[in-house]
Amino acid sequence: MKKIILAAAAVLALVPASISAFAATEVHIPKEQWGFSGVFGKFDRMQLQRGLQVYKEVCASCHGLKQVAFRNLEALGYSEEQVKAFAAEYEFPTLDDEGSDITRKGLTSDYFPKPYPNEKFARASNNGALPPDLSLITKAREGGPDYLFHLLTGYEDPPQGMTVMDGMHYNKYFADGNFQIAMARQLNDDQVTYADGTKASTDQIARDITVFLHWAAEPNLEARNSTGFRVMIYMVIFTILAFFLKQRIWARLEKK
């Protein structure tokens, strides 16, 4: 019994320390203004197209987008022919009539291909780290788009006295890894040349890819906002009508 009591006391002694250690790594993520926020939120089609360009040129070599089909890109403002041409830039494995392995050009019904054939290959190519699929990244991380944006722009030199492990990089918003992240800084000024002429600052690139990835995670956001607004209007009208109906009914009862 004495040993059990001592063991329990030891565990309880560790709890405050673990809580304080966790609290020490908590990070305040600043709130950003996003056009898709709120009841009337909408996606900027040109920004979505810029974000797709950033994904293709910067992110796609390491991160997949397995939940997004090429045909979904019509929602970004592209025509059916443009989407077909985009899909045809990719090749997918298939079999010919004799059962031999060949490749074919992508179709609009295809989904974005994986950057690596398997997890083992992915880890071997990234110093042991597994690059996450980005399809639902803004929904999978606490803080959503705000967190993703600040993570992409949060790379700095480590504080004085802090030692960063080999293969890791300091990021002031990556508290989960003690501010050390395997992914190196990916975004820099003028890293991409936007087709619409937008100045490609690091901040702009980070915002564009964040908006695009939030669209990938919530492609029905605009439809949901529109439906929600109509429901709210209906509820307001119904409430007003119910109020006047109540007044009329009680007025009759009072006369009687």
Q: How many Å from the N-terminal Cα to the C-terminal Cα in the chain?
A: 79
pLDDT for the residue 225: 66
pLDDT for the residue 14: 41
pLDDT for the residue 246: 66
pLDDT for the residue 4: 42
Distances (CA, A) of 7 to 15, 17, 123: 13, 16, 39
CA-to-CA distance for 166 and 180, rounded, in angstroms? 10
User: Exposed, middle or buried by CB within 10 Å (0-12, 13-18, 19+), for 152?
Assistant: buried
Average pLDDT over residues 156-178: 91
Arithmetic mean of pLDDT over the chain: 85
Which percentage of the chain shows pLDDT scores above 70?
80
Contact 63, 115 (CB under 8 A): yes
Average pLDDT over residues 154-173: 93
* pLDDT above 70: residue 48: yes
Tens digit of each residue's pLDDT (9 = 90 or more) over 206-249: 999 999 999 999 999 887 665 654 566 656 776 776 766 667 77
* pLDDT above 70: residue 130: yes
CA-to-CA distance for 74 and 204, rounded, in angstroms? 23
* pLDDT above 80: residue 12: no
Q: Alpha-carbon torsion 23, 27, 28, 33, what sign?
A: negative
**Buried (b) or exposed (e) across 35-68, using 16+ Cβ within 10 A?**
ebeeeeeebbeebbbbbbbbbeebbbebbbbeeb
Instruction: Name the residue ranges covered by the structural domains of the chain.
Output: 69-110
Which of these, 227, 229, 215, 225, lies nearest to 74 by C-alpha position? 215
Query: Helices 144-152 and 202-217, interaxial angle, to 10°?
Result: 150
Q: Under 8 Å CB-to-CB from 172, ≥6 apart: which residues?
A: 27, 154, 156, 179
Distances (CA, A) of 28 to 84, 162, 173, 252: 43, 20, 8, 59
pLDDT for the residue 21: 40
* pLDDT above 60: residue 149: yes
* pLDDT above 70: residue 17: no
Average pLDDT over residues 181-207: 96
pLDDT for the residue 223: 72
* pLDDT above 60: residue 5: no
Contact 91, 158 (CB under 8 A): no
pLDDT for the residue 256: 61
Average pLDDT over residues 14-29: 53
Q: How many residues does the chain have?
A: 256
pLDDT band at 25 (very low <50, low <70, confident <90, very high): low
Lowest-confidence region among 145-149, 159-163, 223-227? 223-227
Tens digit of each residue's pLDDT (9 = 90 or more) over 57-113: 999 999 999 999 999 999 999 999 999 999 999 999 998 888 788 999 999 999 999
CA dihedral 123, 129, 135, 140 (to 10 degrees): 150
